[in-house]
Amino acid sequence: MIEILQYEFMRNAIMAAVLSSLICGLIGTLIVLKRLVILAGGIAHAAYGGVGLAAFMGIPLRAGALFFSLFLSLIMGRITLQKKARADTAIGVIWAVGMATGVICIDLTPGYGVDLMSYLFGSILSVSKIDLSMMGTIAILGILMCFRYYRLILVYTYDEDFARTRGINVTLIHYLLIIFISVSVVLIIRVVGLILVIALLTIPPSIAEGYSRSLAGMICLSSVLSLLFSLCGLWVSYTYDLTSGASIIMVAAAGYLLSKLLHLPCQ
């Protein structure tokens, strides 16, 4: 795999894999532990509505995806707080409406936007310097926030009721987490696409959960696994001329299956 480093697009792809792994390790862990997988899925698919609107209005696609997903994610965040029992149904409706909005807007847009496909299936090999800068900013911000407020995050993650008795503003933290998930999902979509992004956010943390004794340990192991799956997926994609995003997810799925077969969690 050393020879592929002579290509700038492969160097950018590897850097994107490193940064997305850091983001997935942190955000993915919180998504899995807080049982927010369906919400993250709703955000990812709602982002396509923003892509379609942006294409129709002639504005940058990433900006459209970000603002539209933020808008819908805040609605989904409110639903998960007030109507937890029915949250999955409401999120499913928003999920479908977001996708439908994107498809209709794209149908109404003259011409054909080739870049739209990268949002569906990912295009890690076409990641730009701007993408890397944005991913690096989010990764650094997430790590700093985790270090600074680790105990607060720990309490919120495992026991919201206890957090409230300690005077912690659980509602504020919930919405901040939703916003961070939205931004992270929109950025990671460039790597594996909105169809596969949930797998990258959930498979590594799901594996790490069975082998970790602490929240910090789970975050670190999840990041390492995500990076391992991404690099192996890139190698498979390069060697056999396959779609990179799908290759990464298939490698991650194989890792998940292997972990279940071994079944050696910490005691």
- For residues 213 and 81, give the distance between their C-alpha atoms in angstroms, rounded to a whole number: 28
Q: Tell me the pLDDT band of 19, cut-offs 50, 70 and 90.
A: very high
Q: Average pLDDT, stretch 38-46? A: 86
| Number of C-beta neighbours around residue 104 at 10 A | 14
Q: Tell me the pLDDT band of 2, cut-offs 50, 70 and 90.
A: low
Give the DSSP letter string of 133-194.
HHHHHHHHHHHHHHHHTHHHHHHHHH-HHHHHHTT--HHHHHHHHHHHHHHHHHHHHHHH-T
Hey, which CATH number is domain 2-262, 3.30.70.260, 1.10.3470.10, 1.10.1060.10, 1.10.3720.10? 1.10.3470.10
Kindly state the percentage of the chain with pLDDT values over 70. 92
Q: Average pLDDT, stretch 226-248? A: 89
Per-residue confidence (pLDDT) for residue 266, from 0 to 100: 46
Condensed to tens digits (0 to 9), the pLDDT of residues 167-183 reads 889 899 989 999 999 99
Which backbone phi and psi does 207 adopt, to 5 degrees?
A: -70, -45
Tokens of 38: 């369906």
Condensed to tens digits (0 to 9), the pLDDT of residues 55-72 reads 888 888 888 888 998 999
Q: Tell me the pLDDT band of 245, cut-offs 50, 70 and 90.
A: confident
The residue that leads in pLDDT, 219 or 61, is: 219
Q: For the whole model, what pTM was predicted?
A: 0.88
DSSP code of 85? G
DSSP code of 28? I
Condensed to tens digits (0 to 9), the pLDDT of residues 105-136 reads 888 888 655 466 667 777 787 788 888 999 99
Domain ranges of the chain: 2-262
Per-residue confidence (pLDDT) for residue 267, from 0 to 100: 42
